[in-house]
Amino acid sequence: MPPDRSRLLRPQPVLALLAVLAVACIVVFMTIDARGKWSFVLTFRGTKVAAMVLVAYAVAVSTVLFQTITSNRILTPSVMGFDLLYRLIQSALVAGLGAGAVVQLDPRLRFGCEVAAMLLFSGLLYRWLFFGGRRSLHLLMLVGIVFGVLFRSLTAFLQRIIDPNEFLVVQDRMFASFNRVDGSLLAVSAVIVLAVSVVGWRWIRTFDVLALGREAAINLGIDHQRAVMGILVLVAILVSVSTALVGPVTFFGLLVANLAYLLIRSHQHRFILPAAVLVAVVTLVGGQLVLERVFAFNSALSIVIEFVGGLFFLFILVRGSTR
């Protein structure tokens, strides 16, 4: 990258611009076309915005950190089978209890079980691979993917034996949606995400060193295995919480992380992480705004973002800007 260009695009102004854009999106989203009582409008839309911001944060941070430890910009943590496990849990619930019972199930109970199942899965996976004397991240990811195929096979089987009407209930849960987020779950998720962030913030300089690669990081005095393990745990918590809250999003993280790398000409995580989060907020809130007001599409934001994210992914791959 030529030096004059990097001076032109310093990280701070870009971050400020993104922050203004994000706030503008949120304000417009909260106030546009508001009719009736403000207290109702603000609470109703506030929950939705809060859910979007929370998910934007969790997905952006987890993807950037995951790409840092894998030194690969085309991977997301969800390749490791999280969303497929989530789909399996949903299908198993409907197959086991029936769609009616699933709809009536206490959302807090279901949320707790889903997060616990996903954390248990990733915990076992990490433990098994990292303490078995084999320490390749690529191996870890492939094993995660293979488990993903296993989950998908079981899900497909369950879906075949479910009544088509009940299948519709599962199908709705297969895609992320911000319209049915429960307020109390949101609070719990926010507390978890905040706690994780406080822990993670203390490592922010470690992230920069880890991004140099395994050998360099070890030479610079980092306990590489411990640091990677710590990040993997952070990532697992963030992904599990956001998936259990709104449903699976796969390529969204890829989209926002790569946009952040494009916008921020710096390798420091204290710039890249906030940039990715802000890009994610703008994409989610702004996207929902456009879809609701312009296209009158209601619940399909996540599918559109997956689609756009997928196209963007192909674009960066073909352009060869992968590392």
Partner 1 sequence: MRPLIPAAAAVGALAVASLFIGVGDLPVGALLAGAPSDEAVQLLLVSRIPRTLALVLAGAAMAVSGLILQMLARNKFVEPSTAGTSESAIFGMTLTTLLLPDIPVLARMLVAGGFALGGTGLFLAILRQVPLRSPLVVPLVGIMLGGVITAMTEFIAYRYDLMQSVRAWETGDFSGVLRGRYELLWIGFVLTGMAYVAADRFTVAGLGQDFTTNLGLNYRRVLSLGLTIVSLVTAAVIATCGMIPFLGLIVPNVVSLLLGDNMRRSLPWVTLLGAGLVLACDMLGRIVIHPYEIPIGTMMGVIGSGLFLYLLLRKNSHAA
C-alpha closest to that of 25 among 52, 55, 60: 52
Q: Which stretch binds partner 1 (CB under 8 A): 31-39, 149-157, 268-276, 277-285?
A: 149-157
Contact with partner 1 (CB under 8 A): which of 21, 113, 117, 143? 143
Query: Residue 213 carries which side chain, given as an amino acid letter?
Result: G
Q: Does 124 bind partner 1 (CB under 8 A)?
A: no
Tell me the window of 147-155, 185-193, 228-236, 261-269 that interacts with partner 1 (CB under 8 A): 147-155
Nearest approach, Cβ of residue 208 and partner 1 (Å)? 21
Q: Pick from 191, 171, 185: which is nearest to 107 by CA?
A: 185
Q: Which is nearer to partner 1, 147 or 203 (CB)?
A: 147
Q: How far apart are CA 41 and CA 60, in angstroms?
A: 28
User: Encoding tokens for residue 82?
Assistant: 């999280």
> Distance between CA atoms of 213 and 233, rounded to whole angstroms?
19
Does 68 bind partner 1 (CB under 8 A)? Our answer is no
| Residues ≥6 apart with Cβ < 8 Å to 236 | 77, 118, 119, 122, 123, 126
Considering only 131, 157, 201, 295, the residue that binds partner 1 (CB under 8 A) is 157
113 lies in the site for partner 1, by CB under 8 A: no
The H helix count followed by the E strand count for the chain is 16, 0
Please answer whether residues 51 and 122 qualify as being in contact, where contact means their C-beta atoms are separated by less than 8 angstroms. Answer: no
Interface stretch with partner 1, choices 31-39, 227-235, 237-245, 301-309 (CB under 8 A):
301-309
DSSP state of 105: S
Residue of 43, 104, 153, 225 that binds partner 1 (CB under 8 A): 153
If binding is defined by CB under 8 A, does position 31 make contact with partner 1?
Answer: no
Q: Residue 76 and residue 258: Cα distance in Å, rounded?
A: 11
Please, where are the H alpha helices in 32-81? Answer: 38-70
289 token code pair: 């705004």
34 lies in the site for partner 1, by CB under 8 A: no
- Residue 177 binds partner 1 (CB under 8 A): no
Q: Which is nearer to partner 1, 49 or 64 (CB)?
A: 64
Q: Which of 19, 112, 171, 265 binds partner 1 (CB under 8 A)?
A: 171
| Residue 51 CB-half CA count within 13 A | 22
> Least distance (Å) from partner 1 to the CB of residue 102?
18
Nearer to partner 1, 53 or 141 (CB): 141
- What is residue 77's DSSP assignment? G
Find the shortest distance in angstroms from Cβ 96 to partner 1.
16
Q: How far apart are CA 277 and CA 257, in angstroms?
A: 9
Residues interacting with partner 1, by CB under 8 A?
A: 72, 74-75, 79, 134, 136, 138-139, 141-143, 145-147, 149-150, 152-154, 156-157, 159-160, 164, 167, 171, 175, 250-251, 300, 303-304, 306-307, 309-311, 313-314, 317-318, 320, 322-323
